[in-house]
């Protein structure tokens, strides 16, 4: 279990990127959902011990990770949002090199590790090719392979599916799902479907605060009876926004489908729909923009 208690991070320029974040993250896949600038990367880097929070406590099992970051690092696998430079060395050699850095000194143990991982992420056939020539999806699968070196107990993946085409995204998510239920896997993303497809628990982070936490199915259940939809002409959108609490809009065949939040029948020809996680997410964001402090309390 990873426990965060009142974690706040204020950057040198005064930006309060994390504001009193308290979370308990159990084993299994955990989704951290939030828009750009919400503070997700700051939170991921903080948990990965790459930066120290301004205040608050973080523990992983028995380990106080702020006091003993090196103990966490031995158990951590991290795929950052921007993996950085993609070298002209082969996937095999790079993974072998990273295994050395992770402390696997024995050549035979390293060979077994590297071969297993390349197979697991389906890069065995291209193991001799330079990573610089890999597609986005291949790079992300390589990123997961390096994160899995040394059997980590805590795995952090920051925005891993951004920019992947649907087939690559599916492949990558299946790979994450296989990693297992015996480790903590935190998936940070702004893509609702990533969380809906994979995570038994999730939190929504916006403006540095946890706005919502729970099991996606429960959260969807709780929103039942409050999400209404209607197809309108695009020109009518402003008027609709004035009259109703619009949580999302989507174009379909040149028309606009609006979803609104209403505790009772809003009239105007809206029909009740079975809301999904996207509705839960967008209504949470709408609330947080209106009353950030009250919502997060």
Enumerate binding residues for ligand ATP (CB under 6 A): 11, 13, 15, 17, 34, 36-42, 159
The span from the CA of 236 to the CA of 256, in Å, is 9
The span from the CA of 120 to the CA of 144, in Å, is 10
Residue closer to ligand ATP, measured from CB, 191 or 232: 191
The span from the CA of 131 to the CA of 84, in Å, is 12
Residue closer to ligand ATP, measured from CB, 98 or 157: 157
Residue closer to ligand ATP, measured from CB, 9 or 75: 9
Residue closer to ligand ATP, measured from CB, 51 or 106: 51
Residue closer to ligand ATP, measured from CB, 143 or 275: 143
Q: Smallest gap, in angstroms, from Cβ of residue 145 to ligand ATP?
A: 23
Residue closer to ligand ATP, measured from CB, 47 or 185: 47
The DSSP line for 64-102 is ETTT-HHHHHTTEEEE-SS-----SSBHHHHHHHHHHHT
Q: Name the DSSP letter for residue 296.
A: H
Q: Smallest gap, in angstroms, from Cβ of residue 162 to ligand ATP?
A: 8
Task: Please state, as a whole number, how many other Cβ atoms lie within 10 Å of the Cβ of residue 246.
Answer: 17
Tokens of 154: 């805590």
Cα 54 to Cα 37, 123, 243: the distances in Å are 18, 40, 42
Q: Smallest gap, in angstroms, from Cβ of residue 75 to ligand ATP?
A: 23
Burial class for 160, CB neighbours closer than 10 Å (0-12, 13-18, 19+): buried
Note whether 225 and 277 are within 8 A (CB). Answer: no
Helix 136-147 with 91-101: angle, nearest 10 deg:
30
Q: Smallest gap, in angstroms, from Cβ of residue 133 to ligand ATP?
A: 27
Q: Smallest gap, in angstroms, from Cβ of residue 79 to ligand ATP?
A: 14
Q: Smallest gap, in angstroms, from Cβ of residue 261 to ligand ATP?
A: 24
Residue closer to ligand ATP, measured from CB, 36 or 182: 36
The span from the CA of 8 to the CA of 53, in Å, is 6
Tokens of 8: 């706040």
Residue nearest to ligand ATP (CB): 41
The span from the CA of 292 to the CA of 63, in Å, is 32
Q: Smallest gap, in angstroms, from Cβ of residue 139 to ligand ATP?
A: 18
SS3 145: helix
Q: Smallest gap, in angstroms, from Cβ of residue 247 to ligand ATP?
A: 20
Q: 279-296 burial, b for 16+ CB within 10 Å, e for fewer? A: bbbbbbbebbeeebeebb
Residue closer to ligand ATP, measured from CB, 11 or 200: 11
214: β partners: 202
């Amino acid at each position: 279990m990873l426990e965060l208690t009142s974690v706040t991070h204020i950057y040198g320029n005064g930006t309060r990127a994390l504001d009193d974040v308290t979370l308990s993250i159990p084993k299994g896949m955990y989704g951290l959902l939030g828009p750009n600038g919400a503070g997700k990367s700051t939170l991921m880097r903080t948990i990965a011990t790459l930066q120290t929070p301004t205040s608050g406590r973080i523990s992983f099992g028995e380990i106080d990770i702020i006091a003993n970051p090196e103990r966490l690092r031995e158990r951590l696998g991290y795929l950052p949002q921007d993996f950085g430079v993609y070298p002209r060395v082969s996937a095999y050699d790079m993974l072998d090199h990273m295994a050395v850095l992770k402390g696997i000194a024995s050549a035979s143990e390293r060979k077994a590790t590297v071969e297993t991982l390349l197979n697991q992420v389906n890069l065995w056939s291209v193991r001799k090719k330079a990573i610089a020539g890999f597609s986005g999806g291949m790079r992300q699968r390589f990123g997961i392979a390096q994160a899995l070196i040394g059997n980590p107990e805590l795995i952090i993946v920051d925005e891993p599916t951004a920019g992947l085409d649907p087939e690559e995204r599916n492949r990558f998510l299946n790979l994450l799902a296989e990693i297992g239920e015996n480790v903590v896997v935190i998936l940070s993303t702004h893509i609702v479907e990533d969380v809906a497809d994979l995570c038994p628990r999730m939190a929504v982070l916006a403006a540095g605060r946890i706005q919502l936490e729970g099991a996606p199915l429960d959260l969807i259940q709780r929103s039942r009876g409050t999400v209404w939809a209607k197809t309108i002409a695009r020109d009518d959108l402003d008027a609709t926004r004035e009259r109703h609490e619009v949580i999302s809009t989507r174009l379909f065949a040149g028309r606009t489908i609006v979803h609104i939040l209403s505790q009772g029948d809003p009239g105007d020809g809206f029909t009740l729909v079975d809301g999904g996680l996207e509705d839960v997410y967008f209504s949470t964001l709408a609330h947080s923009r209106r009353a950030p402090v009250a919502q997060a309390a």
